[in-house]
Chains A and B, each alone.
Chain A
Amino acid sequence: MSQLSVQHLLGIKYLTKNDIELIFQTADHFKEVLNRPIKKVPSLRDITIANLFFENSTRTKLSFELAEKRLSADIINFSASQSSVKKGETLIDTVNNILSMKVDIIVMRHPNVGAGVFLSQHVDAKIINAGDGTHEHPTQALLDSYSIRERLGNVKDKKVVIVGDILHSRVALSNIFALKLQGAEVKVCGPTTLIPKHIASLGVTVETNLKKALEWCDVANVLRVQHERMDVSYFPSTREYTQLFGINKQILDSLGKKIVIMHPGPINRGVEITSDVADSNQSIILNQVENGVAIRMAIIYLLAQQIKR
């Protein structure tokens, strides 16, 4: 077990349990590398990676860029706002133009669901999905599980509740796939309008009472309300959302146990989570960001290993 079963990282649903374990073991080694005085290894000296971001990103883009640099890869960056996409170029043309400059791996974020899968069928490069619309965000789910494993020792049999805008969240979907694959129990919690109709078919349970959901869980992964993806109003007001689904110190103190709080960012402080909770010692939000670099190094390293010269 030292090779991934997949040729690209398009989504968690294509991975096996062994793949996840291999990624975590490799990330453990890179985490150690990241704690050295010199945090760089020469493995990917002859690999070129293009980061194509057709949608805004801060943390994921920086995290990928840092991971690639720590592995000594050459990188080129591209964001849709400054490109010929605006002039009418198709995705395949854009990417093939980039590939003709001898690029080996493509990291892509795209607003359209399935963009990564589509690209992997039409171009000759390794594709890493950095988020495709409301579909999947596999690296986020992997770093979330890795952070749970780091804090609680194991993901298996842990109870995880995902709170918030499940409907528009690729983080939620990837997390559900990843957590179920590793044997965790998953519950989703949020306004009924923001919970997809047939979500139970993925093997998760639904709870609309936040207090009950938190009493049940070991870990709460709190999501942001994605106003930018909403064409209509899904709840009456942000204030009401915060009252019913916002996580604050009072509700956590009333549980009688310490649960782990996660958030993939960006945080809307005072909306889905209060500042005192986000900055408390129950929160592993910054550990998630730190682990993101090690996880992305592991994925890039393992995929690059398959490229033969």
Chain B
Amino acid sequence: MNQKILLNSTEIHIILHRLACQLIENHDDFSNTVLIGLQPRGIFLAERLTEILKNEYSIKNIKSGTLDITFYRDDFRRRDEPLEANKTNIDFTIENKNVVFIDDVLYSGRSIRAALSAIQSFGRPTKIELLVLIDRRFSRHLPIQPNYKGRQIDVINNEKVIVKWKEQEGEDIIYLIKND
């Protein structure tokens, strides 16, 4: 197994601020926008972006929630490991809102497909956008593309992208791991 640092903590810091600014550019004061972190790994990115928008760009009243897609996945009963559900927490309406899905890595696009189905149980948003930290662009199984991306990378299928967060794993760092 060989591992390479894809992004260090300074680079991640810069990227998060850029993504926050891009969101402000399109969503102004966020009065009609909600951020939805996708479980399990997208919630840390969503929390971090919400913090930056609140503390550094003084945007108050940002609504952010978490969405679990387990029950909407297309690989139920098709994998060896059982699926484990996580918490969904959307305590606001999404009807006629702009929804921004937030996830750490965009790979096959299947999670996003499931999220698009799942979010409909909560109402009909005006628009849905996708923000990802890492876009593995040549790995898509479905016609899904991000609206905002931290870094686009070209990796092959046996390579794995691991995103670690300070709150969870002690440091902000992204590795590219190659199995020999």
Contacts and interface: CB of A to CB of B under 8 A. Distances in A.
Contact of A29 (B68, B72, B82, B123): B68
A7 to B, nearest CB: 14
A309 B121 contact: no
B83 A305 contact: yes
Given A32-B88, A36-B121, A3 B82 contact: yes
B77 interface: yes
B57 interface: no
Contact of A40 (B81, B85, B121): B121
Interface of B: 68, 70-72, 76-78, 81-88, 117, 120-123
Contacts of B78: 309
A61 to B, nearest CB: 24
A25 B82 CA distance: 14
A174 B87 CA distance: 29
Given A29-B87, A29-B88, A309-B77, A38 B121 contact: yes
Contact of A36 (B70, B76, B122): B122
18 contacts: A2-B83, A25-B85, A29-B71, A29-B88, A32-B88, A33-B88, A36-B121, A37-B121, A37-B123, A40-B121, A41-B71, A41-B121, A42-B71, A43-B76, A305-B83, A307-B77, A308-B77, A309-B78
A31 B136 CA distance: 35
B139 to A, nearest CB: 24
Main secondary structure on A side of the interface with B: loop
Given A29-B70, A42-B71, A309-B78, 17 more contacts: A2-B82, A2-B83, A2-B84, A3-B82, A29-B71, A36-B121, A36-B122, A37-B121, A38-B121, A38-B122, A39-B121, A41-B71, A41-B121, A42-B72, A42-B117, A305-B76, A305-B82
A309 to B, nearest CB: 6
Contacts of B72: 41-43
Contacts of A301: 71
A287 interface: no
Contacts of A305: 76-77, 82-83
Contact of A38 (B70, B85, B120): B120
A154 interface: no
Contacts of A41: 71-72, 121
Contacts of B77: 304-305, 307-309
Closest 6 CB pairs of A and B: A41-B71, A38-B121, A29-B85, A2-B82, A2-B84, A36-B121
A37 B122 contact: yes
Nearest to B68: A29
Interface in A9-30: 25-26, 29
A304 B84 CA distance: 14
A152 B122 CA distance: 30
Nearest to A309: B77
Contacts of A304: 77
A26 B122 contact: no
Interface in A275-309: 301, 304-305, 307-309
Interface hub of B76, B78, B86, B120 (most chain A Cβ within 10 A):
B76
A29 B78 CA distance: 21
Contacts of B87: 29, 32
Interface hub of B78, B81, B121, B122 (most chain A Cβ within 10 A):
B121
Contacts of A38: 120-122
A298 to B, nearest CB: 10
A26 B76 contact: no
A33 B121 contact: yes
